[in-house]
């Protein structure tokens, strides 16, 4: 009897939907480094040029305080995904899984027919046959090329493609970059060809973290024991004992059990587990077992015994899964707060960098005439032009209220040129001929503000490329000044 006659329509397999996600993720990963807006990338952490490009805005390495916020966003997003959907990140986004699918399902199975079919991931190819050895070698060679491309793509987020290919023309001068690419490729070859899903089971720490994050409403691949029947039993020591291997044995225990014991859900599992055993750390939520059981049970006119659902709904049968529960809302709130903080701090980006250090000599006093004086304070300005073109810079002095115009810049006397990405040291001297204080016993510390700015095409101060720094002006006591107050 056909599936339509029995009223069961088999949906598009989750595996095919995952392939769509993998394709989109691969395209984004490969194309994103090539996209530039005003000469800036979406994400580029360049140790070569000491720059960070984020959302097509360039930041200097001194603004690396943004990176912790990006890392927090990444990890909290993954943790939130785990609370809601189990190891959905592993099965649907993780590069390890994507690369294994490309190698095992595409290269070995579809392209070279080294494996019989995608639905059987437990049976390894018979490597005693010469033709299989040749196919294996070809598969490794193909993956080596793809691994080198993946290594280069990874480096493009640290060395932009336009520089990457330029550097390849002089390999002896850029062995560190080449070493990283080759090292990444070598790791991927070992990982994907030889380590396989053992990376997910034994190496990746995420599998150990996930069990702490799960709750009764976490969505994952779950076997419905109420309908299918009890296949495994807890031995009381944390291990499970398999009770039955054949359907007739299961029927003797539970006549209403619907599981056919075909074990399609087992043979299709990439991490080699039996989903009927219950929650296991090895499950990466790829949902291959759901697809397998959906096909088998669909032919019998019944819904799948393995569902993408929660223990609350399938095991405990207490009601519908609650996706947006307080814990999830909390994660969303934290992500929103961190995103706002990141946006706020990024909006405070300074388009020039400036550090001001006072010289060791507090001041210099000159006496042009017996009743006149000049007090100089000198500073070392260390500034950097973070723009993509040379610009002219200059300063203003903003003294406390009541002292306007009494402190002026005498050195430099005019704007000066600063080229991009080069830290420029400039000696700046501020001077006054006014009696700013009359303390007979000690020097007076006067707080001032320095306004540093670039000049636009019209020679006017730029509103965008403008920073303010606080410093001090030291005015000497009367005995040093040598001139008494009038």
319 Rama class: left (phi>0) / alpha (psi -120 to 50) / beta: left
For 349-387, letters b (16+ CB in 10 Å) and e give: ebbbbbebeeeeebbeeeeeeeeebebbbbbebebbbbb
Residue 60 pLDDT: 72
Residue 333 pLDDT: 95
CB neighbourhood size of 466 (10 A): 15
Indicate if the pLDDT at residue 294 is higher than 90: yes
Residue 134 pLDDT: 95
User: Can you list the positions of beta strands (E) in 211-305?
Assistant: 220-223, 232-234, 240-242
5 pLDDT tier (thresholds 50, 70, 90): very low
Which domains occur in the chain, in start order? Answer: 1-34+86-318 (no CATH), 352-481 (2.60.40.10)
Q: What is the mean pLDDT of the segment spanning 101-117?
A: 94
Indicate if the pLDDT at residue 174 is higher than 70: yes
Indicate if the pLDDT at residue 83 is higher than 70: yes
Indicate if the pLDDT at residue 2 is higher than 70: no
25-77: pLDDT as tens digits = 999 999 999 999 888 899 998 887 778 888 888 777 666 778 888 889 988 99
38-42, 308-312, 342-346: range with lowest mean pLDDT:
342-346
Give CA separation, 349 vs 52, 54, 60, 216, in Å. Answer: 12, 11, 9, 44
Residue 346 pLDDT: 76
3-state SS class at 82: helix
Residue 280 pLDDT: 84
Residue 102 pLDDT: 95
48-52, 249-253, 295-299, 374-378: range with lowest mean pLDDT:
48-52
450 pLDDT tier (thresholds 50, 70, 90): very high
CB neighbourhood size of 61 (10 A): 13
Express as a percent the part of the chain with pLDDT over 90. Answer: 56
Q: What is the mean pLDDT of the segment spanning 104-111?
A: 94
Q: What is the mean pLDDT of the segment spanning 356-364?
A: 90
Q: What is the mean pLDDT of the segment spanning 86-112?
A: 93
Residue 1 pLDDT: 41
Indicate if the pLDDT at residue 93 is higher than 60: yes
CA distance 446 to 470: 11
Q: What is the mean pLDDT of the chain?
A: 89
Q: What is the mean pLDDT of the segment spanning 458-469?
A: 85
CB 147 within 8 A of CB 189: yes
Q: What is the mean pLDDT of the segment spanning 67-88?
A: 89
Which DSSP symbol is given to 174? -
Q: What is the mean pLDDT of the segment spanning 299-322?
A: 92
Q: What is the mean pLDDT of the segment spanning 196-208?
A: 84
């Amino acid at each position: 009897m056909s599936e339509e006659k029995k009223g069961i329509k088999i949906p598009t397999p989750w595996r095919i939907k995952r392939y769509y996600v993998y394709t989109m993720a691969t395209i984004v990963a490969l194309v994103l480094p090539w996209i530039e807006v005003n000469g800036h990338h979406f994400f580029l952490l360049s140790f070569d040029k000491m720059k960070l490009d984020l959302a097509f805005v360039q930041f200097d390495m001194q603004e690396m305080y943004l990176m912790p916020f990006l890392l927090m966003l990444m990890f909290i997003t993954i943790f939130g995904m785990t609370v809601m959907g189990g190891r959905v990140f592993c099965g649907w986004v993780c590069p390890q899984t994507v690369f294994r699918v490309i190698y095992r399902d595409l290269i070995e199975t579809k392209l070279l027919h080294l494996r019989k079919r995608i639905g059987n991931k437990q049976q390894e190819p018979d490597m005693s046959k010469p033709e299989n050895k040749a196919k294996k070698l070809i598969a490794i060679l193909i993956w080596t090329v793809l691994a080198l491309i993946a290594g280069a793509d990874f480096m493009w987020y640290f060395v932009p493609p336009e520089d990457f290919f330029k550097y390849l023309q002089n390999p002896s001068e850029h062995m560190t970059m080449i070493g990283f690419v080759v090292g990444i490729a070598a790791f991927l070859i070992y990982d994907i060809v030889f380590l396989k899903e053992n990376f997910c089971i034994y190496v990746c720490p995420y599998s150990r973290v996930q069990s702490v994050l799960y709750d009764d409403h976490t969505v994952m691949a779950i076997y419905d024991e109420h309908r299918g029947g009890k296949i495994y039993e807890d031995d009381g020591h944390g291990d499970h004992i398999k009770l039955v291997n054949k359907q007739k044995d299961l029927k003797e225990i539970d006549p209403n059990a619907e599981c056919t014991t075909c074990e399609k859900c087992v043979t299709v599992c990439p991490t080699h587990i039996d989903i009927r055993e219950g929650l296991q750390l090895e499950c990466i939520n790829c949902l291959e077992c759901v697809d397998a059981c959906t096909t088998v049970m669909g032919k019998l006119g019944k819904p799948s015994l393995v569902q993408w659902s929660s223990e609350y709904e399938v095991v405990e049968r207490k009601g519908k899964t609650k996706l947006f529960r307080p814990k999830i809302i909390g994660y969303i709130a934290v992500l929103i707060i961190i995103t706002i903080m990141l946006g706020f701090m990024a909006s405070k980006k300074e388009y020039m960098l400036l550090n001001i250090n006072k010289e060791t000599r507090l001041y210099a006093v000159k006496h042009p005439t017996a009743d006149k004086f000049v007090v100089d304070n000198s500073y070392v300005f260390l500034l950097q032009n973070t723009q993509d073109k040379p610009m002219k810079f200059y300063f203003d002095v903003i003294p406390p209220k009541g002292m306007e115009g009494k402190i002026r810049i005498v050195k430099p006397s005019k704007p000066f040129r600063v080229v991009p990405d080069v830290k420029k040291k400039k000696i700046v001297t501020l001077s006054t001929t006014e009696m700013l204080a009359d303390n007979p016993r000690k020097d007076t510390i006067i707080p001032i503000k320095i306004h540093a700015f670039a000049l636009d095409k019209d020679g006017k101060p730029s509103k965008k490329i403008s920073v303010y720094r606080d410093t001090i002006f030291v005015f000497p006591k009367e005995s040093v000044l040598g001139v008494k107050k009038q």
